[in-house]
A and B are shown apart, each in its own frame.
Chain A
Amino acid sequence: MIKAPTALAARPVRVVLSSVFSDAHTWNLVFLQLLLEEHGCQVSNLGACVPEELLLEHCRDSRPDLVVISTVNGHGHLDGVRLARRLRADPDTAEVPLVIGGKLGVGVSGGPDSRRELLAAGFDLVVEDSDPQRLVGYLEGLRRPALPSGRTPP
């Protein structure tokens, strides 16, 4: 399916929402689903303890406009880096906008190194302060047709 660059402004943004494989928490995912739906998204919520393979397959099948990873068990940094590398290595998901947020490290904050590593691994946005407004802001950016996102239709 070919998407015109302006299409996102007119139709619901299709989001795949997921945790990482080691995290069984779900209220964060429930909250984000409601938030994203309130901002005009169509959300496919994969839930807790999602194996990387399952997420990858789901993205291949559904071709989302955005993938949001939310995790609060403190392993998000480690699991996130591996997950992003895997998604970026696959031609079907190499370009999809990819966001991670929550409580990503075991300390108070993962620190700049953790953030840099996540970005280097392929995330477009890392939200370590759990501020949902930053996700909403990013979403609005995706909708703006003029934004040079660098993404091209396959």
Chain B
Amino acid sequence: MTSFSAFVADAAAQGELVVQPRMGFADPAQMRAGLLAVRGVRGRTAGTITLDSYTRVGAHDAARRALRDGAPLNGFPLVAHGPDVTRKMLEGVVAQDFPVQVRHGSPAPYDIVRTLLDAGLDATEGGPVSYCLPYSRTPLRDSVREWRRTCELMGEHGPHAHLETFGGCMLGQLCPPGLLVALSVLEALFFRAHGLRSVSLSYAQQTEAAQDLEAIAALRTLAGELLPDVRWHVVLYTYMGVYPRSTTGATTLLRDSVELAVRSGAERLIVKTEVEAHRIPTTAENVAAVRRALDATGRPIDDLPPSHTGVLVEARALVEAVLELHADLGRALELAFQHGWLDVPYCLHPDNAGETRAALDERGRLRWVSVGSMPISGLVRTLPPEALSARSLLTMLTHVERRYDNVLDDIPARLHLTDRRE
């Protein structure tokens, strides 16, 4: 058995960034070949098994039917394959220097986690808020209950079982960093409260490097204060919003995310490939992205001071307000969303108050337009309501894509906004 967090800690001690792709295939042989290809890249890599959509929503019979009929699946159907097939697929793949994480996106992950533990794996990701609000209609209350018993299962498995928060990636774009940091910390605290002793805290690259640096520093500060008895590290995601279409644009954005990881001291990076805007990448494309990211870690990096926009103060206020709501953190999260004390902008889930708005300012930084009922109104300088219109929303959603594709003229209003899910 290999320990995910020990591997990452060891790499960090050597000053090396761990790079990890997203990757999932239905066929065990293809999945195995993909993992081996990532393992074969020189440098510190971790493997990923991304599960398919049927497994994500608990439709394991549908996944079994698809396997039987040879119908295409968009990931590895872990539960349908079961622990024996999965263990065999992983034989000689997982090693001390190559841990593997399962990625799924489920608000009710108990069966998934049961199976991955039985198959000899012990690392996965998600969270009661981040895998409920963005992509499902599952009531938050149900997700909290399911995540609670899943965490307890992982806790009983042993101190090495590792869980990563997805809370720092909410909706992929247009969520100001103070709320991303708060959600990532709150989910890590939830994991700890229910038995986890090894966690990682996610943050997704946003629109401006200095602001991202400030945000990751805030995340580290709060994790240091609130998780003293837990082994933790920070995992950065390469930009998750509308992706550049040109090879140069996509490669440059990936390189900037590597620089952000190195500057901020993030221990692990989850990369995207240059074909992300068009389709699901192949193994070769994933391996190329991992290799490119690892190569970029060796390049000299200029100094860049973080911004001072109050991310830490804002995140701390949100975290403290939620912790004071109830002794049970799961209940506190439910209450916080009910009161609108946590309110994710542009999130249409029925349990999200939906009173907050955010926009990009003239420097390309994420700012609040409206904080709704969140207890941070005295702490932030909001943009005027005119900052947000249907047209400006499209411009903001494609801000990064256009900047990296060097398209300087205004684009016509278009609707193909695919917020690619995990």
Contact = CB atoms under 8 A, between A and B. Distances in A.
A29 B134 CA distance: 13
Contacts of A35: 390
Interface string A110-142: 000000000000000000001010000000000
Contact of B415 (A28, A47, A48): A28
B417 A72 contact: yes
B153 interface: no
Nearest to B412: A131
Interface in A13-41: 24-32, 34-35, 38
Given A26-B347, A132-B390, A31 B415 contact: yes
B416 interface: yes
Given A24-B136, A49-B136, A132-B390, A30 B415 contact: no
Interface in B336-390: 346-350, 388-390
A48 B171 CA distance: 13
A32 B390 CA distance: 7
Interface string B52-72: 000000000000000000000
B416 A103 contact: yes
A45 interface: yes
B415 A132 contact: yes
Interface string A38-54: 10000001111111000
- Sorting the interface of chain B by its residue count into under 10, 10 to 19, 20 to 34 or 35 or more gives 20 to 34
B421 A24 contact: yes
B135 interface: yes
B397 interface: yes
B393 interface: yes
A64 interface: no
Contacts of B210: none
B137 to A, nearest CB: 5
B394 interface: yes
B388 A34 contact: yes
- Sorting the interface of chain A by its residue count into under 10, 10 to 19, 20 to 34 or 35 or more gives 20 to 34
A29 B348 contact: yes
A45 B418 CA distance: 18
A102 interface: yes
Contacts of B414: 130
A25 B418 contact: yes
A3 to B, nearest CB: 27
Q: What's the dominant secondary structure at chain B's contact region?
A: loop
A25 B393 contact: no
Interface string A87-126: 0000000000000011100000000000000000000000
A45 B136 CA distance: 15
Interface in A72-92: 72
Contacts of A26: 134, 171, 346-348, 419
Contacts of A103: 416
A24 B136 CA distance: 7
B413 interface: yes
A48 B348 contact: yes
A25 B389 contact: no
A30 B135 contact: no
B347 to A, nearest CB: 7
B98 to A, nearest CB: 32
Interface string B185-205: 000000000000000000000
Nearest to A24: B135
Nearest to B349: A47
Contacts of A49: 135-137
A101 B419 CA distance: 17
A65 B354 CA distance: 23
Nearest to A19: B348
A46 B350 CA distance: 8
Contacts of A51: 137
Contacts of A48: 135, 137, 348
Nearest to A50: B137
Contact of A25 (B137, B350, B397, B419): B419
A152 B347 CA distance: 36
Interface string B398-422: 0000000000000001111111010
Interface in B118-141: 134-137
Given A31-B394, A34-B388, A34-B390, A130 B347 contact: no
A139 to B, nearest CB: 13
Contacts of B171: 26
A26 B417 CA distance: 9
Contacts of A31: 390, 393-394, 415, 417
A72 B136 contact: no
21 contacts: A24-B134, A24-B421, A26-B134, A26-B171, A27-B346, A27-B397, A27-B419, A28-B415, A30-B348, A30-B393, A31-B390, A31-B417, A38-B390, A45-B348, A48-B135, A48-B348, A49-B136, A49-B137, A72-B417, A102-B415, A132-B390
Given A30-B348, A132-B413, 5 more contacts: A25-B417, A25-B419, A26-B134, A27-B417, A132-B415
Query: What 5 A-B pairs come out closest when comparing CB atoms?
Result: A47-B348, A130-B415, A35-B390, A27-B417, A34-B390
